[in-house]
Chains A and B, each alone.
Chain A
Amino acid sequence: MTRSPVLELRGLSRRFGQTAVLDDIDITVPEGSFTALLGASGCGKSTTLRIMAGLDRPTSGRVLLHGEDVAGKTAHERNVAMVFQSYALYPHLTVFQNMALPLTMRHLSSLGRMPLVGRLVPGSRVARNLIEKKVSEAADVLGLTDLLDRKPSSLSGGQKQRVALGRAMVRDPVLFLLDEPLSNLDARLRVKMRAELVALHRRTGKAFVYVTHDQSEAMAMADQIVVMIGGKVAQSGAPRDLYGRPASMGVATFIGHNAINLFLPDDGLHGLHPAADRAVIGLRPEHLSPAANGALEARLETAEYLGSEIILGLRCESGTEIRAIASGDYPIPAPGSAIRLGFEPGQLHLFDRQSGKRIEVTS
C-alpha cells in the first residue's frame, strides 16, 4: 500500500544559537497515518512538531505539505490543527466560543466578529449558522454538548482536553498535531483517552502526528513511530519493526515495556552467540525465561510477582544484572539459588560496540 505523504520534512535542522536541537531530520507523514514522535525530553520532538505547525522556522531544510514548500506560510494558512499539552484554552471564552474561534476567524470579518454590531454585517448570519452547526457536531462527538456554555476554569482536565480536541476538529484540518496531549491526565483517564483518540483518528481519517515520551502510548496508538534521540531520527517504522528489529542500542532500550538486557563483550557470556566476544548482545526480559537446559546461568536476587507473570532479577557469575520473565505459575526458588535461562536464538539482537548500530544476525 503506498499512501501519498501529507507532510514531509527534508534535511531539517534547527539551531538555537550554538546548540543544534535538530540535526538533519527526515520524516514522512503518510495520508491518514497515526505517526508518533517518540523520545526523551530534550530530544527535539516538540521543536519538530512546532516546525510542522509553522510556529517555529527551521534553520535549514524544507517542510513540504502535499508536496508544496510551506516555509512562508503561517500556521493558520497551513490549515493544521494543534492540541497543546496545557490545552491552551482561552479562559475568557466559553467552551462554545473556544471551539468556534478557528471558524469565526476564517468565516467572519473583524467587524462581523463584534458582539452586537456583528449580527448586522451582511452574510454573517449564514456564517454564524454554519459555525453553530459544526461546533455542535464536534461537541456531540466528544460528549461536550452539556458544557458548551461553561468557562474552561470550571472544567476537569479530561473535559478541557476534549475541548482542545474539539477546537482542532471543527476546522477540518489537513493534519492534526498533538503535543503530549495526555500527559496532564491521571493514569486511568489517560488509557481511556488513548482509545478515544484512536477512534477520533479513524473517524476523521486525517493524519495525526503525536508527540510523546511514553513508549507504551506510542506503541498502543501509532502505526508509525519515529524515535528521536539527541536531535536525530534514530529509527522510524511500524511499532512491530521497532520492537523486533531495533536499528540501534538506543532504540532497543527505548522501545519495550521491560528494559532490554544488554551484555557487553567484557561480561564474558560468550556462550550466547558466536559474535558475543565482539558485539553487544541485546535480549529482552520477556524472551528470557527459566529453562532446564538453558544457555545462561545466574543467581536469583529478586522476584516481582505480578499475577500473570513474574519478573526475575538475577546476577551472572561476572556480576552482570539480568532481568527475565517467568510465567505466573513458576515456583519461585529461594533467593541465591542458581537458575538456568533459555531463549529463542531469533530473539537475540546484536549491536556494534562502538557505533551502537544493529548488526544483522546471520545464522
Chain B
Amino acid sequence: MRRLSIARREALTDLWLAGPATTVMLLFVFVPVVIVAVLSFTDYQFGAGSFAWIGLDNYARLFGSTLGQRAIANTLTYVAIVIPLSVGFGLAVALGLHRMMAWAPWLSHTLRTIYFLPVAATLVAMSVAWQMVLHPSLGVVNQTLASLGGTPQDWLSDRGLVLYTLAAIGIWQTVGYNMVLFLAGLVAIPPELYDAADVDGAGHGWSRFSTVTWPMLGPTTLFVLVVTATNAFRVFETVATLTRGGPAFASDTLVYALYREGFVYFKAGYASAITMVFFAFLLVLTLAQFRIVEKRVHYR
C-alpha cells in the first residue's frame, strides 16, 4: 500500500478533528436558519399542507403594525436599560468585593455567592418569588413603600411601569454573572501596574481606576457587553411568567411575540420574520461592539 504524503495525512487529521463538529453545525444551525429565512417570505402555518409566497408582507406587518412596533420598541428600551446598568453594577460590585478581599475575605466570598445565586437559580422559579414580592397588596415592596409613606404601585400591571419592573428583574438576574467575569478580569491585572501608578501619582481613586483598572479590564468589558446584550435581547422567561406581554402589550417583546405568533397562533411565516429581525438586531449589535470596542481594548 502506498503511503500518503505528510501534507495529505495532516490534512486528513485536520478534517477528522474539525469535520464532525462542522457537519453538525451546518445541519442544526445553518440549515435551520436558511429554512427560517425562506419561511419568512411565506404565509406558512404549522400543519398546513401548502403555502404561498407573499414576499416582504410579514416584515411589513411587523414594522407597520402598532403591535409589531411596540414589541420592537419595548425590546430596545429593555436592552437600553439593562445593558448599562447591569454592566455598571457588575463592575461596581466586582470592584467592591475585590477590595474587600484584602480586609474581609470571608465576607467577600459570602457576598460573591449571594450575588451569583440569581444566575444559578432558574428564572422561572424566581419569577414566582418576584410575583410575591411585587404583589400589589401583599408584596414586600409595596408594604415597605407604604410604611415609609410612599404610594404603593402596581408593579406588574401598570402599563407605564411594567417594562421598567421587568428591566429591574433582568438587571438583578445578570449582575452576578457580570460581577464574576469582572472579578476574574481584576485578578488578572498585574500588581506592578498599580505600583507604577502609585509611584507616578495615579495611585488613588479615580486616577487609579482610569489609568490602570479600566483600561486593563477592556477585553473583559467587551465580552461582558456582548454577553449582556445577547441575554437582554432574548428576554423571555420573565415576560412569559409574570406578564404574558401585558397589560395591553405594554411588556411585549420580540421573543415573546415570536413565541406567541409561532407557538400559540401557529403562524410560522410571521414568526420566522420576527426571528430574522431578532437575529439581525443581535448581529448588528455584536458586530458593532466588536468593531468599535475591540480595536480599543487589545492595545496593539
- Chain A residues near B300 (CB, 8 Å)? 151, 153-154
A81 at the interface (CB under 8 A from B): yes
A76 to B199, CA, bound (A): 5
Assuming the A-B contacts A90-B212, A151-B299, are A110 and B206 also in contact, with contact meaning beta carbons closer than 8 angstroms in the complex?
A: yes
Q: A26-70 vs B: 1/0 string, CB under 8 Å?
A: 000000000000000000000000100111000000000000000
Could you say which residues of chain A place their CB within 8 Å of the CB of B200?
76, 101-102, 105, 167
B300 to A, closest residue via Cβ: A153
B interface residues (Cβ-Cβ under 8 A, vs A): 190, 192-193, 195-196, 198-204, 206-207, 211-212, 215-216, 218, 299-300
Complex A-B: 23 CB contacts under 8 Å: A53-B199, A54-B198, A76-B199, A76-B201, A80-B199, A81-B199, A82-B195, A84-B195, A86-B190, A88-B190, A88-B192, A89-B196, A90-B196, A90-B211, A91-B215, A91-B299, A92-B215, A102-B199, A105-B202, A110-B206, A110-B207, A151-B300, A153-B299
Q: In the complex, how many angstroms separate the beta carbon of B107 from the nearest chain A beta carbon?
A: 20
Minimum CB–CB distance for A16 against chain B, Å: 14
Chain A residue nearest in CB terms to B196 = A88
Select from chain B the residue with minimum beta-carbon distance to A91.
Answer: B299
Q: Verify if A75 is at the interface (C-beta below 8 Å from B).
A: yes
Residues of B within 8 A of A102 (CB): 199-201
A106, CB-defined interface residue at 8 Å: yes
Known A91-B299, A151-B300, A153-B299; contact A82-B199, beta-carbon cutoff 8 A: yes
Q: Which of B201, B202, B207, B299 contacts A92 (CB 8 A)?
A: B299
Neighbouring A residues of B199 by C-beta, 8 Å:
53, 55, 75-76, 80-82, 102
Q: How far is the CB of A259 from chain B (nearest CB, A)?
A: 33
Tell me which residues across on chain B come within 8 A of A50, comparing CB atoms: 195
Cα–Cα, bound, A53→B198 (Å): 9
Contacts of A90 in B (CB 8 A): 193, 196, 211-212, 215
Flag if A55 contacts B198 (CB, 8 Å): yes
What separation, in Å, do the CA atoms of A81 and B196 have in the docked complex?
Answer: 9
Number of A-B contacts (CB under 8 A): 69
A86–B196 Cα gap in the complex (Å)? 11
Which A residues are within 8 Å of any B CB, using their own CB? 50, 53-55, 74-76, 80-82, 84-86, 88-92, 101-102, 105-106, 110, 151-154, 167
CA of A76 to CA of B197 in the docked complex: distance in angstroms? Answer: 9
Closest 6 CB pairs of A and B: A76-B201, A105-B201, A88-B196, A92-B215, A88-B192, A102-B200
A320 → chain B closest CB, angstroms: 45
Distance, CA A80 to CA B198, complexed state (A)? 11
Q: Is the beta-carbon distance between A101 and B211 smaller than 8 angstroms?
A: yes
Distance between Cα atoms of A50 and B198 in the complex (Å): 11
Residues on A with C-beta less than 8 A from B207 are 105, 110
**Shortest Cβ distance from residue B103 to the other chain A in the assembled complex, whole angstroms:** 15
Beyond A88-B192, A91-B299, A151-B300, whether A75 also contacts B218 by CB under 8 A is: no
Q: Write the nearest CB–CB distance from B163 to chain A, whole angstroms.
A: 35
A50-B195, A105-B201 are known; give 12 further A-B pairs, CB within 8 A: A54-B198, A76-B201, A86-B192, A88-B192, A90-B211, A90-B215, A92-B216, A101-B200, A101-B211, A105-B200, A106-B201, A153-B299
